[in-house]
Amino acid sequence: MDIVTATPGSAARSLRDTVYTRLRAEILNGRVDPRERLTEPKLSKLFDVSRTPVREALSRLLSDGLIERTDFGYAVVVPSLPELRDLYELRVTLELRGVERIIENPELRYDTGALSAELEHWLGLRADVPEPDPSFVMLDERFHTVLSRAAGNERLTEALVAVNEKVRAVRMYDFVEPERIRITIDEHVEILELALADRLPEARTALHKHVGESLAVVMERAARALSRMALAV
């Protein structure tokens, strides 16, 4: 986990909120190894605060479901395979619902400006493919969030973001091979081009293939990501 220091601007907020906000961001951005033990003494030293704000921040993170108690403090929650299956299934449902609502309602349209900007971004990545890195999951989530939000239902997007946060720590290990990066970029470009061309049934089919056409595919991806996560050093 990266060392986090308080900034002058944080003085207006309580120490508890500062510690909570910073530690939550570290967890959600995948910078806290799930095998790392989070203890009050360790975090107090890291944030240069007393144990009280750390204890309160940990309590909130526990309520959020982001950490769990262990024999030696706390650790980032890693979903079990059955939990991942359920979350991946929910993710697929939310992803597809965005395009489906536009197909079903002739009065609705995608935000083409947002999609065009996102397409330009991914065309740039295809021209200069980044090296495999777990942090690529953040770029992947960005694509799916933009696509969902462009469909016009903010509540749907909020639900998708919440699900992505729960599986991020595992999904990030799905992006450690060059071929996986290239395929992801190509599929994102294809989906965006189809949506912008108003070829929505085809866009839905491409999106479904991209996120998982069957439970078997979803489970295989979940199991593979969990295995890579367990083997990461």
Q: What is the spatial distance between Cα 103 and Cα 152, in angstroms, rounded to a whole number? A: 13
Whether the pLDDT of residue 71 is over 80: the answer is yes
9: number of CA atoms within 13 Å, CB side? 0
What pLDDT shows up at residue 176? 76
The residue among 9 and 1 whose pLDDT is bigger is: 1
- Angle at alpha carbon of residue 172, lines to 30 and 213, rounded to 5°: 140
Q: What is the spatial distance between Cα 146 and Cα 161, in angstroms, rounded to a whole number? A: 11
- pTM of the predicted protein model: 0.73
Please name the residue that has the structure tokens 């091979």: 177
**pLDDT tens for each residue of 91-129:** 999 999 999 999 999 999 999 999 999 999 999 999 999
Whether the pLDDT of residue 78 is over 60: the answer is yes
**pLDDT tens for each residue of 129-186:** 999 887 898 899 999 999 999 999 999 999 999 999 888 877 777 787 889 899 999 9
The pairing of beta strand 73-76 with beta strand 67-70: antiparallel
Sign of CA dihedral 22, 23, 29, 31: positive
Buried b / exposed e along 123-152 (16+ C-beta atoms within 10 A): eebeeeeeeeebebbbbbbebbbbbbbbbb
What pLDDT shows up at residue 11? 47
Which residues are registered as beta bridge partners of 70?
73
Whether the pLDDT of residue 80 is over 50: the answer is yes
